């Protein structure tokens, strides 16, 4: 059924895994789990097992080409990569990624640890520039502009892309100064503007009511969940077009995670969100599209419910059902 062939040793290993008999403790079937998490997700055709649809014929596609679902073609995209490769020194972390990030939607990047999710995310705002010996090939376009072009001002690029990190990183300043940091470094001094932006951003991050009485106290005195929402507020305050989130909930307890997920859900439409997550249930809950990456390659990319319920490739199915990775 699977049209794409993956001759590499890793892929072979994955397949071997998949075909091995599962121990009795394997996860429950994915569909009921997903339905219980998100009722929007439709079951597979006739409630049957995932149906594997051939995307293209083998002659039209390189053996390692990804399965990109047709729905993506209908979307307007704000960010795209074209055969993007990234090397850390001699080690190649991304092997030619070609994908498009739809505007105003939440796109989740999933895949096992070390598959290059963070690397790809950090390539979008060129944060990898800081790391020594990083070399890139191929293109990333933001609003049609090649971001590695010499004309591009990387500071302005980053101002258009908010980023939220795995570990919350409030600066050692007051809550207010944290939120308006982007404005401050842009030279904004007017008290009224700063106060307004602070309130607006904290409200969007659903944090205003919790902190409005202590805006001038240190942000480091907040709880972990509050700190992470503060970081989201700080990213929003700069009015970016894209929000990049790298496992924003991995250090949070379930209640704080729930709040942040609600927030991400509420941000759809206003911002283009790209979220890296380890947690597939989270990807299912918050995202419109999901990209599955493996060993530095994009494997499958499509609407979240088809990726989870009706993936085209066996690899994807194995991963989302928790059989490897």
Partner 1 sequence: MSVVSGTLQSPMQSPPLPGDGGRLPRGGASIVQQGGAESRADLLFALLARGAAIFILIMLGALVLVLTTAAMPSITAFKAHFLASSSWRPNEREVVMRDAKGNIMRDADGEEVTVTLPPEFGALPVIYGTVVSSIIALFVAVPLSIGASLFIVRIGPRIGLLLGPISFLIEFLAAIPSIAYGIWGLFVLAPFLQDHLEPALNAVAGKVFFLRMFHSDQGLTGRDMLCAGLILAVMILPIITSLGRDVLRAVPRVQIEGSLALGATWWQSCQVMLRYGRTGLFGAIMLGLARAAGETMAVAMVIGNANRISSSLFAPAQTMSSLLANEFAEASSNIQRSALVEVALILLVMSLLFNVIARYMIVGRSARPAV
Ligand X SMILES: Nc1ncnc2c1ncn2[C@@H]1O[C@H](COP(=O)(O)OP(=O)(O)O)[C@@H](O)[C@H]1O
Quick check: 237 and 180 in contact, CB under 8 A? yes
Kind and range of the H or E run holding 184:
helix 181-185
Q: Give the x-and-dash track for 68-107 against partner 1 (CB under 8 A).
A: ----------------------------------------
**CB atoms closer than 10 angstroms to residue 138:** 16
Work out whether 119 is an interface residue with ligand X (CB under 6 A).
Answer: yes
Give the whole-angstrom CA distance, residue 219 versus residue 211: 10
Per-residue interface string for the shown chain with ligand X, residues 123-142, x marking contact by CB under 6 A: --------x-----------
Residue 174 interacts with Mg ion (CB under 5 A): yes or no:
no
Residues 229 and 275: their CA atoms lie apart, in Å, by: 15
Identify the residue among 161, 202, 274, 276 touching partner 1 (CB under 8 A).
161
- Does 132 interact with partner 1 (rule: CB under 8 A)? yes
Q: What angle do CA 145, 149, 151 make, to 5 degrees?
A: 95
Q: Is 118 in the site for Mg ion (CB under 5 A)?
A: yes
Bridge pairing between strands 134-142 and 77-88: antiparallel
Give the integer Cα–Cα distance in Å for 315 and 124. 26
Beta carbon of residue 128, minimum distance to Mg ion (angstroms, whole number): 12
Residues 2-41 that bind ligand X (CB under 6 A): none
Looking at 58-66, 114-122, 174-182, 198-206, which segment touches Mg ion (CB under 5 A)?
114-122
Residues 299, 64: Cα–Cα separation, whole Å: 8
Q: Which stretch binds ligand X (CB under 6 A): 3-11, 59-67, 86-94, 209-217?
A: 86-94
Interface with Mg ion: number of residues (CB under 5 A): 1
Distance CA 35, CA 207 (A): 30
* Residues of span 216-245 touching partner 1 by CB under 8 A: 216-220, 231, 234-235, 238, 244
- Do residues 270 and 281 make contact, with C-beta atoms less than 8 angstroms apart? no
CB of 106 to Mg ion, least distance (A): 18
Beta bridge partners of 302: 290
Q: What residues make contact with partner 1 under the rule CB under 8 A?
A: 125, 127, 130, 132, 155-156, 158-159, 161-163, 165, 167, 169, 171-174, 177, 181-182, 185-186, 216-220, 231, 234-235, 238, 244
């Amino acid at each position: 059924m699977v049209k794409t062939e993956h001759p590499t040793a890793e892929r072979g290993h994955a397949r071997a895994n998949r075909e091995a008999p599962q121990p009795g403790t394997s996860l429950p079937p994915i569909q009921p789990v997903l339905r219980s998490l998100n009722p929007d997700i439709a079951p597979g055709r006739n409630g049957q097992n995932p149906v594997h649809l051939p995307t293209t014929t083998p002659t039209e596609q390189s053996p390692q080409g990804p399965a990109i679902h047709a729905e993506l073609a209908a979307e307007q995209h704000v960010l795209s990569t074209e055969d993007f490769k990234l090397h850390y020194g001699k080690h190649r972390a991304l092997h030619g990624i070609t994908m498009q990030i739809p505007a105003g939607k939440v796109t989740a990047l999933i895949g096992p640890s070390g598959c290059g999710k963070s690397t790809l995310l950090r390539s979008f705002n060129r944060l990898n520039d800081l790391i020594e010996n990083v070399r890139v090939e191929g293109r990333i376009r933001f609003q049609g502009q090649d971001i590695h072009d010499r004309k591009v001002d990387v500071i302005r690029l980053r101002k258009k892309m908010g980023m939220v990190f795995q570990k919350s990183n409030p600066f050692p300043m007051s809550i207010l100064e944290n939120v308006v940091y982007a404005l401050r470094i842009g030279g904004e001094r007017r008290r009224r503007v700063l106060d307004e932006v602070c309130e607006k951003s904290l409200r969007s991050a659903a944090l205003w009511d919790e902190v409005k009485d202590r805006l001038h106290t240190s942000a480091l005195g907040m709880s972990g969940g509050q700190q992470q929402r503060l970081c989201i507020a700080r990213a929003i305050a700069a009015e970016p077009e894209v929000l990049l989130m790298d496992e924003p909930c991995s250090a949070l307890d379930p209640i704080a995670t729930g709040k942040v997920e609600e927030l991400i859900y509420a941000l759809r439409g206003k911002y283009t969100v790209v979220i890296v997550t380890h947690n597939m249930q989270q990807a299912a809950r918050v995202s419109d599209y999901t990209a599955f990456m493996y060993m530095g390659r994009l494997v499958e990319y499509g609407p979240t419910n088809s990726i989870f319920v009706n993936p085209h490739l066996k690899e994807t199915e194995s991963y989302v059902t928790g059989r490897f990775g």
